Amino acid sequence: MSKSTTALLFMLAAALFVFSVKAQERDDSRLKPAERNRSGTLRQLIPGYYVFSSTSFNSGVIATSEGVVVLDALSSEAIAGQERETIASVIKQPVRFLVSSTFHNNYTWGNVAYQDVVKIGHEDYRTDLLAQMQRDHASPEEQKARLPQVTYRDRLTIHLGGKEIQVLYLGKGHTRSDSIIFVPQDRIAYVSELFFSDQFLYINDGYGVSWLKTLDAVEALPADIIVPGHGPIPEDPRETRRGLHRFHQMLVDLRDAVQKEIARGATEDQAAAAIKLPQYEQMQGYKSQREVAVRRTYREMMGTLK
């Protein structure tokens, strides 16, 4: 990223921070009781690097001496508000940047709690989030609150508190615009929904074959810890590499099974009926996503996936 772009990011951050105190004084009286009672937990993985987990969803938190970078705002204003309050009480640094990976609602409804920080996303993420909100008839105010102010195509670097925080696009996967965060000096990567830990892949808007190539690029990073967007993180966070390898193997098994069916001349319906992937049937998400995964991978391999 150019020096001028870096300067622009910090000008935006400084301007937005003026309003941070008022923005953090959130009134939750308009929230439903179920939303108010939902909770999450903040866990330190290594010094300066955390994950905030709510149910099976994970949000990355990178702390520096000059502020915090968050990856993914999660599923509601209430959850995002709790994450910010926890960051303020535990880390005692303001959030400066919110990076978003997937455009899906369960990772972007929380964006509205970050109106006072610089929001960053891939250019296709912004396009797809806007289209989704328009389909959902979101108000202009909500659209403005959730959309990023800064977009990028391949990579963007935030220099904050002596850390080089790389925001990278490595290819299609869970969506066509997944962002990851990689911090080379501390050998840690947060990869959002490119990695489901001990869960079946969710692929309604995904690309099975391309996802494999993207994960190859993730595994090639010189990172000791690779934080998933979904699912549990081992007590030793360095074990996440093994978990990523298992998830990678799931995509290999899916691709190979679909390839075999195509080679024998199966139609999409025949492939969807034939491919069961029984080794993964006990995983969360298998029942709802097995057929979706087969059909989308079939279409991708046949060149008909839109």
Mean pLDDT value across the chain: 90
Domain annotation for the chain: domains and CATH numbers: 3-231 (3.60.15.10)
> What would the pLDDT profile of 123-144 be if each residue is shown by its tens digit?
999 999 999 999 999 999 999 9
Flag whether pLDDT at 58 surpasses 50: yes
Determine the Cα–Cα distance for residues 281 and 304; give it in Å rounded to an integer.
27
The CA-based angle 252-253-255, given to 5 degrees, is 65
pLDDT for 14 equals: 46
Residues 170 and 217: beta-carbon distance below 8 Å: yes
pLDDT for 39 equals: 79
Torsion angle (degrees, nearest 10) of CA 120, 125, 127, 131: -120
pTM of the model: 0.89
More confident: 274 or 25 = 274
pLDDT for 38 equals: 56
pLDDT for 12 equals: 54
> What would the pLDDT profile of 157-193 be if each residue is shown by its tens digit?
999 999 999 999 999 999 999 999 999 999 999 999 9
Question: What is the dihedral sign for C-alpha 171, 172, 174, 179?
Answer: positive
> What would the pLDDT profile of 73-96 be if each residue is shown by its tens digit?
999 999 999 999 999 999 999 999
Determine the Cα–Cα distance for residues 89 and 278; give it in Å rounded to an integer.
45
Residues 170 and 152: beta-carbon distance below 8 Å: no
Flag whether pLDDT at 11 surpasses 50: no
pLDDT for 9 equals: 55
Flag whether pLDDT at 291 surpasses 80: yes
Kindly state the average pLDDT of the residues 50-62: 96
Flag whether pLDDT at 28 surpasses 80: no
Residues 97 and 13: beta-carbon distance below 8 Å: yes
Q: Residue 187 — left, alpha, or beta (φ > 0 → left; ψ -120 to 50 → alpha)? A: left
**End-to-end CA gap in the chain:** 31
Identify the DSSP state of 229: S
Kindly state the average pLDDT of the residues 207-215: 97
